[in-house]
Amino acid sequence: MTISLMNFLNWIPEIGGCPMEQGEIWTAPFPYFDENGGLKYKHRPVLIISGDTMNNNGRDVIVCQISRFELKRVAALSPQLRKMVRVIKNDDLDPNTSRGLRNVSMIKPFKLFTIPKTKLRSGRYIGKLKEDVITELAEKTRGLF
């Protein structure tokens, strides 16, 4: 049986759906290891940090962890990582795209993972960071790469 390229491309499940953009915050299952070394997942907010070329053409996006801000958590980090943390509030979100954060939060751009877009779509869209915050995070994290 011969399948034309066009038929094959039409058969492939949709890559896109709603576009996802750098700077958007969604909830997703975030992996972590428990005290026994077992892999677990918590639903928590994540920030899309991958560029829009990847976001619009692939099945996955690169995200980083966002967690509730607690001073003791920041204080426990090394000085180098502490400099990368960005505390965010609802004022840091674009008011035209935001449903709002539940708490004052902190972005940890050194806690990265790749996740299928389908996992984000099954979560909750929270909003998009303002452009100046996205630029600031990009500058803070250059040393990671």
Strands (E), the chain: 24-33, 39-48, 60-68, 86-88, 105-116, 125-128
Is the pLDDT at 16 greater than 60? The verdict is: no
Domains of the chain: 22-132 (2.30.30.110)
Q: What was the pLDDT predicted at 32?
A: 84
Instruction: Quickly state the pLDDT bin for 17 (edges 50, 70, 90).
Output: low
Predicted TM-score (pTM) of the model is 0.80
Average pLDDT over the chain, rounded to an integer = 86
Report the pLDDT averaged over residues 92-120: 91
pLDDT tens digit sequence for 43-97: 889 999 999 999 999 999 999 999 999 999 999 999 999 999 999 999 999 998 8
What is the chain's Cα-based Rg? 17
List beta partners, residue 64: 47, 112
Q: What was the pLDDT predicted at 9?
A: 41
Q: What was the pLDDT predicted at 38?
A: 95
Q: Give residue 41's identity as a one-letter amino acid code.
A: Y
Report the pLDDT averaged over residues 15-21: 66
Report the pLDDT averaged over residues 96-123: 90
Q: What was the pLDDT predicted at 14?
A: 42
